Structure 1
Amino acid sequence: MTIHLAEETRTMSLNQQLAALHAERVRTWDPAALQINIDQRRILVETADPAAWIKEGDSVEPFVLKDVEGGDLTLESLTATGPAVLIFFRFAGCPACNIALPYYDKALALALRDVGATLVAVSPQVPDRLIEIRQRHGLSFKVASDIGNALGRRFGILYTADEASQAAQRAKGGFIGDTTGTGTWELPQPAVVVIGHDRIARFVDVSPDWLVRTEADAIVAAVRDITLVPAE
């Protein structure tokens, strides 16, 4: 799915770009469809339970993610040389994700490599479908599948679409479980989890509203605090 936004958005912050996406929808979407989208995001914000989310200071138990290009990414391997930065996103065709991941590639990936951190974008979508987003944007960092939403569930960041959203998808002949290959309505809320070399969560930011996401500067600052690399 190609996202068509004005060229000037390329110099905007991530959340400015996501706001521009919403503004485009306001101009072009059917009002009823737009309201379903707005209501779903509002409900997710209102019913969010931060107590269920992974927290800074929590010990992270071993896990395995499936690299879309083959092989396993384990907690041990991801933290072998420094912090691991996990960016949870919904699926390869998600319009907001197609804005967020290229943004992170441009604004975050190099800065993290410079301080020895490993960046991985994580979605429950099965690897043979998820690889599409990495190839589409030529992403320089790993993209991995969280099979069965196992890690997202452990981190407490999953949500299930409300009835109105499910009905709207069914009316179009769609089902997100077919798109992701998971067979369920569950998706992760956008989240960033930074895990130190000691396997402790050092930074956590979860956004129930998928049109609000963590800016790169906050992630870089968190990683620099761990690695003790001073800002330039």
Structure 2
Amino acid sequence: MTMSQSLQSKFDALHAERVRSWDAAKLATNIAQRQALVERFDAEAVVKAGETVAPFVLQLSTGGAVDLASLTRDGPVALIFFRFAGCPACNIALPHYDEHLRPALEAAGIRIVAVSPHLPEKGLDEIRVRHGLGFDVASDRGNSLARRFGLTFVPYDNPPKPENDETWIGALTGTDSWELPMPAVVLIDTQGKVLFADVSPDWLRRTEAAEIIAEVAQLREDHPRSRIPA
């Protein structure tokens, strides 16, 4: 993998720019928030390969809804959990996945859906339009699925809720809280079984496209009933 293809290299560049341009207190808070999530992360508490997923419904950013049955009718689905449409790291990750991951998964008969608690009526579709994403973006209202998967968190310092601010996290998600999902990739087969799951407690450390593609290639050999074409 070249540096131009690495998602981590793009996150490293984002962090370097913040070191250069942010004031010291703001930068320290950002680093402390991410470090606290890493320290508190419990790998046993999050979704894992081999688990069976109960039915769920997501709201598409463009209108309408999709459920687990429809998402896996023709093949597996890869759910890419992200924070919200204005998240700088998410605006790096999703177009990167669109360029470096989507072609390979589409060739393997796997649908991608990017999932966030950000509500459609609060501007979720902006991230799809901004980058011309070739996969669906959907809302997990109230973090319902993310909670079930053990992905949600609130900042360790639990900042006070802003008043009369329609742009803060709780307003965008409709939860009236700072709760967000940790970035994650969850691959579910046509039987509702989790084939692969990777959760990133630090939002500047996310699953590389090459890792997912390699996992799919291995699954073709190990799980022929998953309907991942060879």
TM-score relative to the length of structure 1: 0.89
Q: What is the match of residue 91 of structure 1?
A: 84
Aligned counterpart, 1:13: 6
- Contact kept in structure 1, 2:117 and 2:180, CA below 8 Å: yes
Aligned pairs for 1:120-199 within 5 A: 120-128=113-121, 129-163=123-157, 166=159, 170=162, 175-199=168-192
**Alignment match of 1:47 (pick from 40, 45, 55):** 40
CA RMSD of aligned residues (A): 1.9
Local SS of the residue matching 2:213: helix
SS in structure 1 at match of 2:54: coil
Work out whether residues 8 and 205 of structure 2, in 8 Å CA contact, stay in contact via their aligned partners in 1: yes
Q: Would you say 1:119 and 2:138 are equivalent positions? A: no
Runs of 5+ in structure 1 lacking a partner?
1-8
Pick aligned residue for 1:74 from 67, 70, 76: 67
Q: What CA distance in whole angstroms lies between the structure 2 residues aligned with 1:224 and 1:86?
A: 18
Q: Give yes or no for contact 2:3–2:9 (8 Å, CA) kept in 1.
A: no
Q: TM-score, normalising length from structure 2?
A: 0.90
Letter of the structure 2 residue corresponding to residue 195 of structure 1 = I
Contact 2:119 2:172 in 1 (8 A): no
Identity %: 53
Residue 30 of structure 1, CA deviation: 0.4
Q: In 2, Cα distance between the equivalents of 1:226 and 1:146?
A: 27
Question: For this pair of structures, how many residues does the alignment match?
Answer: 219
Q: Supply the distance in 2 between the matched residues of 1:42 and 1:57 (Cα, whole angstroms).
A: 29
| Equivalent residue number for residue 224 of structure 2 | none
How far does residue 127 in structure 1 lie from its aligned partner after superposition? 1.0
Asked if structure 2 preserves the Cα contact closer than 8 Å seen for 1:196 and 1:226, the reply is no
**CA distance change for structure 1 residues 132 and 14 in 2, over 3 Å: closer, same or farther?**
same
Cα deviations by residue, 1:166-201 (Å, 9 ceiling, x for unpaired): 25x859x67321233332210000000000112110
- The code of the aligned residue for 2:110 comes to A
Matching residue's letter, 1:29: W
Cα shift at 1:162: 2.3
